[in-house]
Amino acid sequence: MATSQGAVFFMLVVSCVCSTVFHRDQQTWFEGVFLSSMCPINVSASILYGIMFDAGSTGTRIHVYTFVQKTPDKLGQLPILEGEIFDSVKPGLSAFVDQPKQGAETVQELLEVAKDSIPRSHWKRTPVVLKATAGLRLLPEQKAQALLFEVKEIFRKSPFLVPKDSVSIMDGSYEGILAWVTVNFLTGQLHGHNQETVGTLDLGGASTQITFLPQFEKTLEQTPRGYLTSFEMFNSTYKLYTHSYLGFGLKAARLATLGALETQGIDGHTFRSACLPRSLEAEWIFGGVKYQYGGNQEGEMGFEPCYAEVLRVVQGKLHQPEEVQRSSFYAFSYYYDRAADTDMIDYEKGGVLKVEDFERKAREVCDNLGNFTSGSPFLCMDLAYITALLKDGFGFADSTILQLTKKVNNIETGWGGHLSPVAVSGHLPLRTHTSSEAC
């Protein structure tokens, strides 16, 4: 995330299209930070640029946006998104928890992409922004801020425009909200008064988000405080159910399943699981920590004992709105990746699955660990966890429909296991959040 760790960067655009106003005490992160800084030096300038960094748990990504003002001499004419260039580095900033300067150097490396993509004449008026997601939210506050400080120093020394609060950690709930608006905007559900919307699910490395528009008063009455947020868009008011569960992303769940979260500092300790091949002995680095792990050398292995392990991670720990059993959802990030890895969907085209399809595939993989070959030794564990998260965590029915796709209305939304806009050429109009006038 999860994003989306994610749809955040496409919604940087869409949120301005919609003139979205979130009813929160805290100003939304994109408000006044990015697009409002992109006004050209004079109204005759026709091309604008913007640089956005997505600092996720597994990697840092740069998005260099190009905007065109078709009629720069006409006040009030909104710029359009012409395209995007992206690049990435691994691991994410959180892997440099004790080497913040080295972490910031990965951002410096990506800034060179921006220099190569943007004419030198535009550097001083091109804003650069970095938003970190769940990877940094999991870190101790002092260590996370040390990383962000070094990134700010990199930005300060760069030739680009650095807006106020250009480097920060994004609230997890915004990831879910922006992903939901992205999908429903692109599918046309937010135009007019039709509110037959679809929900969104995002499964990142460190966190997971669920967002949908409740249709029943019972859902609103029984939802915990803080899980509902209201906003206005297209002259309609939407009251969304949205929540981000930190620590329930796919990679964080692996650690919880292995029991590594409580004993991560024990040197030489090997964490074992019924979800892994019996003969496996390996090491894995996540969040800057190295873990030794392997299969059960003696004892049970396969789907049932594996499922019992992952069930302990989610059972009784997530809110279960009854309404989701009768809803349909778009699912992104690791939901998509694991479905594609096991040929449940086409890697490029995506597909439609039911929750029970994940369980069926998990049983197939886990009960044949000795014969199943995969690029990831965690495949059985991951599929079992996704099944448990959907069924026993969120409370979805076996028949709940999940739409897994990389494109919505021919606009690419998937890249590297995370939602992001890729070469968007749909010519979406932009409007700043706070003003109806251009610049």
Which residues form the catalytic set? 175
Could you give the CA distance from residue 155 to residue 262 in angstroms, rounded to a whole number? 36
DSSP 161-224: B--TT-EEEPPHHHHHHHHHHHHHHHTTTTSTT-----EEEEE-SSEEEEEE---SHHHHHHSP
The response to whether 434 counts as a known ligand-binding position is no
The response to whether 179 counts as a known ligand-binding position is no
Residue 369 one-letter amino acid: L
What is the rounded end-to-end Cα distance, in angstroms, of the chain? Answer: 31
**Which tokens in the block code for residue 224?**
């915990």
The response to whether 26 counts as a known ligand-binding position is no
Residue pair 340/375 in contact by the 8 Å Cβ criterion: no
Residue pair 302/274 in contact by the 8 Å Cβ criterion: yes
The response to whether 425 counts as a known ligand-binding position is no
Question: What is the CA angle 235-239-240, rounded to 5?
Answer: 125
Give me the residue label for tokens 């535009």. 122
Reduced to 3 DSSP states, what percent helix, strand and coil does the chain have, rounded to the nearest 5?
Answer: 35, 25, 40
The response to whether 207 counts as a known ligand-binding position is yes
Cross-strand pairs, 401: 354
* DSSP secondary structure code for residue 27 in this structure: P
Could you give the CA distance from residue 158 to residue 428 in angstroms, rounded to a whole number? 29
Could you give the CA distance from residue 337 to residue 415 in angstroms, rounded to a whole number? 10
Neighbours of 292 (CB within 10 A): 17
Give me the residue label for tokens 């991560």. 264
Could you give the CA distance from residue 428 to residue 186 in angstroms, rounded to a whole number? 10
DSSP 310-352: HHHHHTTTS---GGGGG--EEEEEHHHHHHHHTTSSBTTTBEE
Question: What is the CA angle 239-240-241, rounded to 5?
Answer: 130
Binding residues for ATP: 205-209
